[in-house]
Amino acid sequence: MYLLNFIQKNCRKRWFWLLLATSALALESVALFFQYEMKLSPCVMCVYERVALFGILFSCLTVYLSPKSLFWRLLGIILALISSIKGILISLKHIDYQLHPSPWNQCEIIPNFPHWLPLDKWLPFLFQPTGSCSDIVWEYLGLSMPQWITIMFVTYIIIFTVILISQFIRIQPNRLIFHKND
């Protein structure tokens, strides 16, 4: 209960949402490091996973603008949860492409963005895929990149679920073990 009280009190402060946004931005930076410094080509699923992570980033920044407003907090939390859930679904499909490669189980070559939001045309350095989804090009501790991304999205789901739950509890007053006699 103490953790929920702590989260409820601090999620009304800007630093809390800036910290969450910074974590998403740091993970996006790691993706760019892998792409441009380690020369690992992102596939379509990698690009979709980036979009989900940007969804978390922008949701946190939305709440950052007005953290005291319950409406904006709930909107940001729900959007971040939706992005996290979508991200985990994408990463699980990506893992399936890697573990069960076949001519009938392959990802698209060109990203399928809406015509009104062609991210691959607007920001090709971020959203232009050049790799294959079934290739395992990097592993750490025996897990491939999509498996680590799944862990990342599970972590975000847990974080935003706890934050959402904390919005509906009553803050408990601090209880003193020893009371002063006045």
Residue 94 burial by Cβ neighbours in a 10 Å radius (0-12, 13-18, 19+): buried
Angstrom distances, CA of residue 43 to CA of 23, 35, 52, 129:
23, 10, 15, 5
Q: Which of 11, 60, 73, 107 is catalytic?
A: 107
Does residue 133 have an active-site annotation? yes
Give CA–CA dist 156/176, Å, rounded. 34
Q: Which of 12, 14, 50, 175 is catalytic?
A: 50
Q: Which of 43, 60, 73, 170 is catalytic?
A: 43
Q: Are 75 and 62 within 8 A, CB to CB?
A: yes
Mean pLDDT, rounded, for 6-28: 92
Does residue 60 have an active-site annotation? no
Q: How confident is the model at residue 106 (pLDDT cuts 50, 70, 90)?
A: confident
The whole-number pLDDT of residue 155 equals: 97
- pLDDT greater than 80 at residue 99: yes
Q: Average pLDDT over the chain, rounded to whole?
A: 89
The whole-number pLDDT of residue 147 equals: 95
Q: Which of 11, 12, 133, 175 is catalytic?
A: 133
Report which of residues 180 and 162 the model is more confident about: 162
Q: How confident is the model at residue 29 (pLDDT cuts 50, 70, 90)?
A: very high
Does residue 170 have an active-site annotation? no
Q: Among the listed ranges 26-35, 56-65, 84-93, 101-110, which one has the minimum average pLDDT value?
A: 101-110
Of 34, 110, 137, 68, nearest in space to 76 by CA: 68
- pLDDT greater than 70 at residue 171: no
Q: Which of 46, 60, 73, 170 is catalytic?
A: 46
